Structure 1
């Protein structure tokens, strides 16, 4: 089980060439609190940094793309590069793949995003390409996207299914050693939006045994289809996606030993970008993350120290009722009392910053 769960969103968005559609996709991504987003059918032959940053928000600002062929197809991969490192990014006719490393744990796996062809004559080429993406033995692998292909007859609400093609797709999955991650709340992921609709399960997540063992707490749910005829699929740990905590600067940090060193060290950390505006975006973000880590370590210890100090003071108070304390004990007691006062001052400063003027007035009243 990972210390930091990694959540995935996959969605055929049916085009990002309209500002209103991009805004809707941005809202869906933001509400999902995911760390990796795989978008299919972007219909854009090029996606610049600004478009990707708008779609992914302030967290998912790193991206890779498989350009569309004119206004057909296209794949976009977005990720949080503070949590994940992507390498060996490659794209082929129907796939975009990368090796992923989870920064805090070092866990590695391969991710492949798929946008399969609708033309029946191209299906076998797609199946062969998917087999070619299979990583070496022992490497965890997850494949997601719009496969434009069912692998069971019950994945379509009508009887007109191509059994031969289903069998070839199943053979491909077997050759890749992939198994489907069960979709919890829907039978189908696509509709042709007609009065008597055809419904199919064209979008899926598949994984191999190594990935399933590492991410065994993840469950798959479908979200509202929103602007698309495909519904987004959210693969998140079983506790559900959690919004990242908002960074709050504590005023008293500046008076704590080690503050300047943490800021200076974080600011000079290398950034894997060359554009000045992107570097300027990442440096304060990384500094905030380092300050949060420093604060957690500092004040988790401070609470332990406070309780220990109070316990020792209590023991000395009890001892003083029966005998005279030694000079060493008196000195220890005095130093511990000063430590308790200093911790109380910090807590007061913290509460003062958190409190609103309205709350203070109401409390006085």
Structure 2
């Protein structure tokens, strides 16, 4: 779409060696293309928008956005200058139309869109004045299925050289770097062997005379034991898939003949175990999504995945600057910088000395007066000393 003077204009470009592309819809404020991967035939929908400034254009644009039809399992990415802000924090000074903010947020909620947060910049547009007005007008949204398939989709700013908008680089990946810290999982309590593991490793650690060291050693021993024991749950999805395969296999056999009793019992065990694993998976994502209102039996798993991934993106640290003023992007190097900073702040343990005399601080007090009953004079004195507007 060509520009109108210095504003507007849209272009969507793709690599023909990797994708087959075709235009789905086009208007003066949006272009939607369908990209089909030549590698695995996965279909992606990319919508590039440029929100109008005029009242009539905004109304037409918001009506189109509200009526976007997102199909189940559709991988959709909507990017561009929406010319809307979501809240007062998206401006560096007061102002903004609160009705527009509410309308824009309602559209996002109705479409179940997931925002990709921009890491490293608070605002994306400037009026380029000496005392500039800064706003966040550029947004990146995805469908819930996109978030499930590509949980590590990140948006980072680039250098603003000529435009009044900040260029944004979107990185798409389906791998999230995992930390090495120990996490206790709630669903472990439902599986056999958990209590025995706790008991065995609690009692098997070396005894220390210092009670604090003894307690820490026992907790470390339990952590080691649970790490070893929990490896059987490291591939929940694969285990659930295998169980479902055998249930379907027995169902297929039942279509051909009656099942023997031991085959029926075998299928019941598989179904019971699969339901237990599905409940463990639900608890796993419920904790990470931090959705406290999730009820037992809620099957909206994709939404759980989307919320959990959104929390990860918001907390993700894109880069750190080390002591040599160099930008560090590697996950392990960022972890080392944080560890060294924490260690330098805490310092090292040392011996403490008591520089006061406890015997000097203590003194004998005559407690006989405390045992005597209240007299009427004390009560009268207290009441007479109270302000006139206070009730005794």
The two structures have a TM-score, normalised by structure 2, of 0.42
| Greater strand content | 1
Q: Which has the larger radius of gyration?
A: 2
The two structures have a TM-score, normalised by structure 1, of 0.45
* More relative contact order, 1 or 2 (CA 8 Å, 6+ apart): 1
